[in-house]
Structure 1
């Protein structure tokens, strides 16, 4: 059975706390294990979660502020130390290619792993995954920043009782799925008669940004939305000035975008009580709400 879940490595913003490490998030999605925004300490946090460097299939960096990328040097070197046998693509804003190069070779090491830099150079860039598409959308922050979205194409769920009623078994089922119809006993049976639509699942990752079109494009109909809520509404003016969201804004985005499960994270160190974020968000979002904690695991909701 495939696993689809978020493993949280760190939930702090610019300054870590005793309870919150710098950013870091791992998405397990079937055969993909994607690391998002590895901040300082991510390598050690991985040890606590049981996720290994060898399991990582892809790395995504939203932007090159330190709390989102300073864990890269150690993780890149760990890929080589563990002699990871498969190529590991790395996505990041194309304007930060020099930052990536410096982080990649921050110190001397014997490079054995195959790292494949794949910069994001256009709003709406797409990258093919097995059974899904990774999309990148431009966000609003003082430096070039992209959010990411994983989209599984819509499909169908075959209905065994309907297939049996028409006597369709074995290889004929695959033929029906490929062609969209099948001739059975002098009658044409269509795929729609023996199946039901199965909406593809969607995951969205939105870090440092003010409100913009990209936020809504990423969040649209997400089954699981991971989104920064650095500030509370009492600091909304400051949030807008520095390119961040409040918990209330993140919750309204989730409601307006039809999000099923909302994960708030990237909390400013000025707030000691995480329940304040929950209380503010619940005023605007009636769905499933998670206030992220370090080393927690958040499942992608079951299919609709």
Structure 2
């Protein structure tokens, strides 16, 4: 039985106060204390991502009064008129400490169904775009304007205690299915690409409860760089043209695994992090 997803509204807010192609990122709340001395002693760098809020359905018989241009393009999967867009937008503005500063002309960008990583429900995300004019920069500790180029720099060269950018920015602004490399994910599976060039595909496996999948990780040398703009990773160039990690799916998913492998270069590396069944089962399928 399919798990009922949680819906999220994500805003891609463009800066209308200057000529630069920038969008707004919000500083994310750090995770709560884990009550473990060693774990809690680690200090992580600030994580910045697109502003978002949970998107809840309206009561039956009521429709949203917020108009989203182009929303009909996702109506075969999701009817946005049946969701409380006004409440979700208000929550985002509250996070930003803003009031009546967005022009209200929203446009649908994309609808992304996240895979079921488990054990909780998957998150399905609606991305919409709008514009904002900010008169000053007093709230730079809460949000900041960033370009796609600067975010790519963060992703390609991660340094200790420097700013990081989150998955919503990558999924909403960088991931393009038309340019997702040679790897073809079967329509029966969903995947997440984060960071760019690294695909995570949860595959049904003999893992420990309450989980039921193990992530198959796919890396293609054409889609990743070494942090200096060079796409010719030494490991790839010396040993292979693509890499898959932990092909530990059950036998009933071997056909999907073989379809993925068939779309990758024949000079393929297979790596397993350890030899539990949920990480190696698929390695013995006929395709290998």
Is the TM-score greater than 0.5? no
- Scaled by the length of structure 2, the TM-score of the pair is 0.25
